[in-house]
Amino acid sequence: MPFACIFVSDFPAEAILRAEPALRSQAVAVPEGKPLRRRKFLRSTKSVRRAGIEPGMTKNSAGGL
């Protein structure tokens, strides 16, 4: 049975942007974990990374977004 695999860089952030097109002009970062315990960023868009926020960075070190 043939199958294929693809890698989509920053898939969680891209999925949010596809579902919410109005956010495409904004910086989007996806936090990791349950809503009340989100401590680190899992994925982000290029504009967020250009601002110096990287995956794995804590919310506090990112300026308390």
| Per-residue pLDDT tens digits for 7-20 | 877 787 888 888 99
Q: How confident is the model at residue 38 (pLDDT cuts 50, 70, 90)?
A: low
Q: What is the residue-averaged pLDDT of the chain?
A: 76
Task: Please determine, for residue 63, whether its predicted confidence score (pLDDT) is greater than 80.
Answer: no
Q: Could you tell me if 41 and 64 are in contact, meaning their C-beta atoms sit under 8 angstroms apart?
A: no
Q: Could you tell me if 13 and 44 are in contact, meaning their C-beta atoms sit under 8 angstroms apart?
A: yes
CA distance 10 to 42: 9
pLDDT at position 46 is: 75
